[in-house]
Amino acid sequence: MTNGGPSLVLVVPCYNEADRLRGDAFVAATATYPGLTLLFVNDGSRDGTLAVLQALADRMPGRAEILDLQPNGGKAEAVRRGVLAAFERGPDLIGYWDADLATPFDALHDFLEVFVARPHTEFTLGSRVKLLGRHIDRLESRHYIGRVMATAAAVALGLEVYDTQCGAKVFRASDRLRQVFSEPFRTKWIFDVELLGRYIDSNGKGGQADLAKRIYELPLRTWTDEPGSKVRFKDGIRAFADIGRVYLARRALR
C-alpha cells in the first residue's frame, strides 16, 4: 500500500505496437497514480516495438519495466507470463490493460475505488455497456457479435457475466489468483473466459455462492474501438469453438 492508495502492477501485452503506442498517456498515468507500475510484455514483435518500449521505460524510471518474450506466443501467454512476473513484485493489485488504450487510464480511478469500497471483491472486469451518459464507441457489427459471444460465455461459465472480452481487468494479488495463472491457457482466442472459469472453479462448490461478492463488473465510462485491431472475422469463429472447449472441460470436472 502506498500513500496514494493500493500498489498496482499493470501488465500491458504488446505485439507490433510500435506505431500505436501513445507514450505520453502511459507517462501521464504513472504521474497520476503514485502506486502504479507498468509492466510491458513484448510478445515477439517483428517491428520496432521493443525499441519503442525501451525508450518509453526510460521516461518513467522505476515505474515501468519490460518483459521481452521470444518468439511470439500469443496474447494469452503474454498476459499469463506478465501476471506471474508481476506477482514477484509483491503488489496489492495486478491487472492487464490493452496497449491501444481503448479503455483510457481515467478508468483506473474507478477500478481502484471498487477494491477500496468492496473489501471482498477479488476480481474486477471492465464492461462495455452502452448506457446513456457513457461513451462506448464500438462498431455495431462487433457489438452484436460480442453480445452473442457474451451469452455463450455466460452459459459456459454458469455466471451471468455481461462482457468477458474487454481488455481491462484488475484483481487482488492473492495466492488463489497466482494459482489461476500458474498453467498455460488451453484456449487462444477467449482466454479471458477460461481465466474466469478457472477462478470460479478454484472457489470450490462451497464457494460458488460468494462469487457475486468476489467478482465485480465495472461499466466503463469510455471505451473506443481503436483502428488497427488484429482480430479478424475468422478469429471470432475460433473463439466460439474455444468457448465450447471451456464448457466441456468444466463439465468434465463436475
Instruction: Give the per-residue SS3 of the chain.
Output: CECCECCEEEEEEECCCCCCCCHHHHHHHHHHCCCEEEEEEEECCCCCHHHHHHHHHHCCCCCEEEEEECCCCCHHHHHHHHHHHHHCCCCCEEEEECCCCCCCHHHHHHHHHHHHHCCCCCEEEEECCCCCCCEEECCHHHHHHHHHHHHHHHHHHCCCCCCCCCCEEEEECCHHHHHHCCCCCCCCCCHHHHHHHHHHHHCCHHHHHHHHHHEEEEECCEEECCCCCCCCHHHHHHHHHHHHHHHHHHHHHC
Residues of the chain with CATH 3.90.550.10: 1-100
Percentage of the chain lying above the pLDDT 90 cut: 69
Q: Would you state the pLDDT for residue 219?
A: 96
The third-level CATH classification (topology) of the domain covering 1-100 is Spore Coat Polysaccharide Biosynthesis Protein SpsA; Chain A (3.90.550)
pTM of the model: 0.91
Mean pLDDT estimate for the chain:
90
pLDDT tens-digit profile of 8-48? 999 999 999 999 999 999 999 999 999 999 999 999 999 99
* 218-240 pLDDT, tens digit each: 999 999 987 755 555 566 678 87
